[in-house]
């Protein structure tokens, strides 16, 4: 049973957008991290800096060694374990779905917000229903009042823009498309004050476009 890995952050694993390398005692551990973790690593950690990841291992029938999943907080790790307890939700799907703060995803589960969950990478409406049915009564410890971070006064909110663009790219958008979408929102909507506001609006627009094409 793995608890954590403490070592030197070596950046992304070769040929992988979802795994990073942590070197510990001369051994490089390849660890899959959710988008919210990868985003924080890219902003707050430089290559060769010290890093502690709370990890969990998952084995499969057709793989000879376990896959490591890593998180920056014990709460993120516990929430991932909750997601993988849902039937047919594997470790990679649960990790990819964590593109938003866990308290926001937990609140969507608690409120049975199928549309929000359907917008998470890899989650279908049927999957959203299964997650709600399995976890609705279990996510209360993860639901917190998370106030939006206000835009700094007198500056163009470069940090907010960079964080939102990076997260949209993790969700599959190309950088020019992500940058255009973020710039349009910040220019036209005074109520957009946080990265989560931008991601929520992205999901809403995506669902509206899908409905129009149906």
**Structure token pair of residue 208:** 């509206």
pTM: 0.68
Same domain, 53 and 12: yes
**Structure token pair of residue 96:** 């990819």
Alpha-carbon gap, residue 165 to 144, rounded angstroms: 25
Residue 26 is assigned to a structural domain of this protein: yes
**pLDDT tens across 163-182, in order?**
777 777 766 677 777 788 88
The domain that holds 59 is classified in CATH as: 2.40.50.140
Residue 147 is assigned to a structural domain of this protein: no
Same domain, 118 and 176: no
Full residue range of the structural domain in which residue 94 is found: 90-142
**Degrees, nearest 5: CA angle 24-37-136:** 125
Mean pLDDT, to the nearest integer, of 125-135?
95
Same domain, 66 and 8: yes
**pLDDT tens across 90-121, in order?**
999 999 999 988 999 999 999 999 999 998 99
What's the structural domain count of the chain? Answer: 3
Alpha-carbon gap, residue 60 to 32, rounded angstroms: 15
Per-residue model confidence (pLDDT) at position 153: 39
DSSP state, residue 100 = S
Residue 148 is assigned to a structural domain of this protein: no
Mean pLDDT, the chain, integer: 84
**pLDDT tens across 60-77, in order?**
666 667 899 999 999 999
Same domain, 136 and 100: yes
| Rounded CA Rg of the chain | 18
Please say if the pLDDT value at position 145 is more than 50: no
Alpha-carbon gap, residue 203 to 214, rounded angstroms: 16
């Amino acid at each position: 049973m793995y608890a954590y890995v403490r070592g030197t952050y070596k950046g992304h694993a070769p040929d992988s957008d979802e795994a990073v390398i942590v070197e510990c005692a001369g051994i490089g551990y390849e660890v899959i991290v959710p988008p919210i973790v990868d985003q924080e690593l890219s902003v707050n950690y430089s290559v060769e800096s010290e890093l502690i990841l709370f990890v969990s291992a998952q084995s499969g029938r057709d793989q000879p060694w376990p896959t490591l999943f890593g998180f920056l907080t014990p709460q993120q790790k516990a929430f991932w374990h909750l997601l993988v307890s849902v039937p047919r939700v594997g470790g990679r799907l649960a990790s990819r779905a964590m593109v938003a703060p866990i308290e926001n995803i937990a609140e969507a589960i608690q409120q049975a917000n199928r549309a929000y969950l359907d917008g998470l990478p890899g989650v279908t409406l049927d999957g959203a229903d299964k997650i709600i049915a399995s976890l609705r009564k279990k996510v209360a410890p993860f639901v917190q009042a998370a106030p939006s971070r206000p835009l700094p006064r007198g500056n163009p909110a470069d940090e907010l823009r960079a964080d939102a663009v990076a997260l949209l790219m993790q969700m599959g958008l190309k950088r020019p498309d992500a940058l255009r979408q973020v710039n349009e929102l910040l220019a036209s909507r005074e109520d957009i004050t946080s990265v989560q506001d931008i991601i929520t609006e992205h999901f809403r627009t995506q669902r509206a476009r899908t409905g129009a094409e149906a």
